Homo-oligomer: A and B are copies of this chain.
Amino acid sequence: MATRTRSISVASLFGRKIKGVILDITGVLKEGGSNGGTAVANSIEALNRLQDSGLAIRFCTNETTVTRSTLVDILRKLGFTIDEKKVFPPIPAMCCILRERNLRPHLLVHPDALPDFDGIDQTDPNCVIIGDATHQFSYENMNKAFQCLMKLEKPILFALGKGKYYQEDGELVLDVGPFLKALEYATDVRAEIVGKPSPSFYKTVLLDMGLDPSEVVMVGDDIVGDVGGAQSCGMAGVLVRTGKFRKQDENHPDVKPDAIMDNLAQFVDKLLSHALS
C-alpha cells in the first residue's frame, strides 16, 4: 500500500535514522535497452514521492555509454523528474582526477560518452581509462590499450566501475569489469576504480549530501557494486528484484542486503511509512 507523501527529513529504517537515499539508475528507475530502455513499473511515481518527501536524494550510476546530460534527457523522456546536478556518473569524477594528477588518458570508452572528456588532453598518453565500451571492445582496441600500458614505465589503469554484467533488452551482457580484468591480467597492473563500488566515489556523493554514511541508504540491483559497496562505506544497502537481479543474488556468499524489495516503489512505500517527522 502506498503511503501519502509528507514533508519529512528523517525516516526510521533498519534501526537507523535515514536522512538520504542514493539510487542506482539502470535496473532501479529504468530497465536497460538499446533505445534508452523503459521505466520500471511504478518507479516514476515512486521517485516523485521520494523527491517530495524532504529526504536528500542523489543518483549514483556507473553509466558510461552516454554523457551525463544525455542520460538525464533519456530519463526525462521516460517521464522522470530529475535534476542533472544530483546525478553522479564516473566520467566527471574521472576528469577531476586526471586534472589533479596531470594525466593524459588513452581512452577505451563508448564513443557516445566522449563529449564528457572534452577539454582533457589526450596527446602522448600516460594512463589508460577503460569504460563500458560495448562494441568498441574489439580485439584491436583491447590490444591498443594493452600496448599503451606495456609501453609506460609506470603504467596506470583506471576503470569506470567494475560491474560484471547488466541487463539490456532482456539479455545479460558484459559490463566493463571483465575487460578490466583482462587488461589487469595481461599487464600485471592493478586498476584504480572510479565509480561504484569505490569508497572515494561514494564519499563524493555523501559529501554533496552533507550526510554521514549511517544516515543514508543505497538502493540498487547490483548485489556487489551497489549493496556491498554501500555497506562497506557504512551505508545501508537495499537490493531490488528488478534490472539484472537474479534469484541467486538473494543468497550471495559475501553480501547480505539490509533488505530485498520487489522494486523501487515497494522500497519507497516502506521508507515513507516509517517517517519520523
Q: Which residues of A contact B (CB under 8 A)?
A: 133-140, 142-143, 146-147, 150, 164-165, 171-175, 177-179, 181-187
Contact = CB atoms under 8 A, between A and B. Distances in A.
A165 B147 CA distance: 10
Given A164-B185, A181-B182, A137 B142 contact: yes
A255 to B, nearest CB: 13
A231 B181 CA distance: 27
Q: Which of A138, A173, A185 has the most CB of B within 10 A?
A: A185
Contacts of A179: 182
Given A147-B172, A150-B172, A142 B178 contact: yes
Contacts of A184: 181
Contacts of A186: 164-165, 174-175, 177-178
Nearest to A136: B139
Contacts of A133: 139
Nearest to A178: B182
Contacts of A143: 173-174
A168 to B, nearest CB: 10
A120 to B, nearest CB: 24
B172 A178 contact: no
Contacts of A181: 178, 181-182, 184-185
Contacts of A135: 138-140
Contact of A174 (B146, B171, B173, B174): B146
A183 B172 contact: no
Contacts of A175: 186
A138 B146 CA distance: 16
Contacts of A174: 139, 142-143, 146, 182, 186
Contacts of A171: 147
